[in-house]
């Protein structure tokens, strides 16, 4: 900034802050004094709502717009503590099963973890489903090598792709039971029984407080008090225009 501008800024600042005009600025100082005299007019009476607030204050512990509703985790916790013993046990078992099976289903988990978990879950499946009943072998038409599209009636020739070894007829398709031995490709997540996480009945998102942008913005403050952009007033209307090219024509 040039020296002239610096001098002009100092002169302007002095005029605005103290009202002392530089030579030739007396009429302008008079106008600024008139603006400053607006401070001498009494403040308007507060509205009834503000009067009540000034008289009674805010009740201690009253919910403010930001704390009117507890956070979601606290509501879930409150719901959980309200469950009975059976409900808690079931919820805990469901969460544990979901966690174990979910962890085992992660492809990045090493086989040393996935295989024992899968075995344990398989054993659990056997226990829950009772003794294994013999299943008759499927007909020859569903022999290995049959394509999924059903157009592979002929057995695979020597150039056919290799058959997955786990496609043994002893395991019924669609059954929850899994072979005791790990599949050929233990990395495949689809081979791992995935537990379904228990649905926690939390309130719909619409239950959560959604403070308006106005209140959010108005209350933003930074140390020093400058809070640009506060309030709902769109800054698009106040977009900076360097140079202040908004002087009236």
Of 66-125, which residues contact other proteins (CB under 8 A)? 66
190-249 residues in contact with other proteins (CB under 8 A) are 214-215, 217-235, 237-238, 240-244, 246-248
Cβ of residue 9: shortest distance to other proteins, in angstroms?
6
Q: Which of 182, 217 has the CB closer to other proteins?
A: 217
Cβ of residue 13: shortest distance to other proteins, in angstroms?
8
For 92-115, the DSSP string reads HHHHHHHHHHHHHH-TTS-HHHHH
2-41 residues in contact with other proteins (CB under 8 A) are 8-9, 12-13, 15-19, 27-28, 30-41
Cβ of residue 216: shortest distance to other proteins, in angstroms?
9
User: Is 47 near other proteins (CB under 8 A)?
Assistant: yes
145-184 residues in contact with other proteins (CB under 8 A) are none
In 3D space, the residue among 195, 159, 157, 162 whose CA is nearest the CA of residue 176 turns out to be 195
Phi (first) and psi of residue 34, to 5 degrees: -65, -40
What's the sign of the alpha-carbon dihedral 138, 139, 144, 146?
Answer: negative
Q: Which of 44, 205 has the CB closer to other proteins?
A: 44
Q: Which of 123, 238 has the CB closer to other proteins?
A: 238
In 3D space, the residue among 100, 98, 106, 101 whose CA is nearest the CA of residue 200 turns out to be 98
Exactly one of 3, 4, 23, 49 binds other proteins (CB under 8 A); which one? 49
Cβ of residue 30: shortest distance to other proteins, in angstroms?
5
How many other C-beta atoms can be found within 10 angstroms of the C-beta atom of residue 105? 19
**Could you give the count of Cα atoms lying within 13 Å of 181 in the half-sphere of its Cβ?**
9
Q: Which of 55, 141 has the CB closer to other proteins?
A: 55
Cβ of residue 41: shortest distance to other proteins, in angstroms?
5
Contact call for residues 29 and 15 (beta carbons, < 8 A)? yes
In 3D space, the residue among 167, 177, 172 whose CA is nearest the CA of residue 121 turns out to be 177
């Amino acid at each position: 900034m040039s020296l002239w501008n610096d001098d002009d800024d100092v002169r302007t600042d002095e005029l605005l802050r103290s009202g002392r005009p530089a030579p030739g600025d007396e009429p302008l100082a008079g106008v600024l004094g008139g603006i400053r005299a607006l401070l001498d007019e009494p403040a308007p009476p507060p509205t009834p709502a503000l009067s009540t607030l000034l008289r009674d204050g805010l009740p201690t512990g009253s919910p403010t717009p930001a704390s009117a509703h507890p956070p979601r985790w606290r509501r879930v916790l409150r719901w959980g503590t309200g469950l009975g013993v059976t409900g808690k046990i079931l919820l805990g078992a469901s969460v544990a099963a979901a966690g174990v099976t979910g962890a085992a289903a992660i492809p990045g988990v090493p086989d040393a973890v996935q295989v024992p978990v899968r075995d344990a879950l398989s054993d659990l499946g056997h226990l829950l489903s009772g003794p294994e009943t013999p299943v008759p072998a499927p007909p020859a038409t569903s022999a290995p090598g049959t394509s999924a599209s059903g157009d592979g009636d002929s057995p695979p020739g020597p150039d056919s792709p290799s058959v997955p070894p786990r496609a043994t007829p002893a395991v019924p398709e669609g059954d929850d039971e899994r072979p005791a031995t790990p599949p050929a490709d233990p990395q495949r997540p689809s081979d791992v029984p995935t537990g379904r996480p228990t649905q926690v009945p939390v309130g719909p998102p619409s239950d959560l407080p959604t403070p308006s942008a106005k209140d959010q913005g108005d209350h933003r403050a930074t140390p020093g008090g400058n809070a640009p952009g506060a309030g709902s007033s769109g800054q698009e209307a106040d977009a900076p225009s360097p140079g202040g090219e908004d002087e009236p024509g």
